[in-house]
Amino acid sequence: MPGQTDYTSRFAIDPNAAAAMGTDELRHNFHLGELFRAGRVCLTYTHYDRMIVGGAMPAGAALPLEAIKPTGTANFLDRRELIAVNVGAPGNVTVDGMTHSIGPRDMIYVGMGTKSVAFASDDSGKPAKFYLLSAPAHASHPTKVIRIGDAKRLDLGSQATSNERSIFQFIHPEGARTCQLVVGMTQLAPGSVWNTMPCHVHDRRMEVYLYFDLAADQRVFHFLGEPDETRHIVMKSEEAVLSPPWSIHSGAGTSNYAFVWAMAGDNVDYTDVDKVEIGDLR
């Protein structure tokens, strides 16, 4: 392993195999825990659109983004792009010598060809937690910081259906340019617990959710699987779950929460989805 980096791999699972899995197998293949470890960069290389998912939690010296064997390159971003979302305390990201302040719930996009990236906390006693998302790239786009206040905001749902929520689109046609990464954040209002219901699938891209802002004694029941063959995984705060292109991705919590959603694949159009009627779920 490189100096301050741990990584694992996850292979792609087909829907028939997933339908036969029990709890332990589902968690082994789709659940991503321990993303944030003090003084470490923790990465998972997935075989869903070659997305890399991880976390960096600088608790002292800055943490470099080191190349890992699965990328097959001298530098991590030689053929990739990166988005880092801060779900912790204030921090900063240095990109090829230029330092950018990244506050709570802000994100930074870093384009292909960047040679060095390092993550740091403003106060090591109150560390930043950078949620990392990377996908293969075909062009180089400039580094861009997007504050939570500058994201495109949509207020949807209602208290009556337990899904009153605010959606923050970090990546959209009027904002930062990317090759294939699409990232946003959803905050559920107090008393609301459902996300992405009615649900959908999108065969043209994978997705991954990071649940956070959830009390230690609360959980989210994340639903996955084909619409007529659903399964669930129980999630605690600051854990992520992979969603293959053939799978629904929806959840209900024991309290309200927030989550970061990210996609990679053929299409960056938000509306390119195949909707599933609630009555068709099994």
pLDDT in tens, 107-154: 999 999 999 999 999 999 999 999 999 999 999 999 999 999 999 999
Q: Which of 114, 213, 199 is CA-nearest to residue 168?
A: 213
Q: In this predicted model, what pLDDT tens digit does every residue of 142-170 receive, in sequence order? A: 999 999 999 999 999 999 999 999 999 99
* Segment 78-92, tens digit of pLDDT: 999 999 999 999 999
Phi, psi of 132 (to 5 degrees): -105, 135
Element (H, E) at 97: none
Question: pLDDT band at residue 2, thresholds of 50, 70 and 90?
Answer: low
pLDDT, averaged across the chain:
96
* 175 has pLDDT over 80: no
pLDDT digits (tens, 9 = 90+) for 216-243: 999 999 999 999 999 999 999 999 999 9
- Is residue 270 pLDDT above 90, yes or no? no
CA distances from 5 to 54, 57, 80, 220 (A): 10, 11, 18, 28
Q: What is the pLDDT of residue 174?
A: 73
Least confident segment among 21-35, 40-54, 259-273: 259-273
pLDDT at 22: 97
Is there a contact between 128 and 55 (Cβ–Cβ < 8 Å)? no
Q: Which of 8-17, 77-86, 170-179, 180-189 has the lowest mean pLDDT?
A: 170-179
pLDDT at position 1: 45
Structural domains of the chain in order of their starting residue, each with its CATH number:
5-148 (2.60.120.10), 150-280 (2.60.120.10)
- Using a pLDDT cut of 90, give the percent of the chain over it: 94
Kindly report the pTM of this predicted structure: 0.96
41-46 vs 5-10, strand pairing mode: parallel
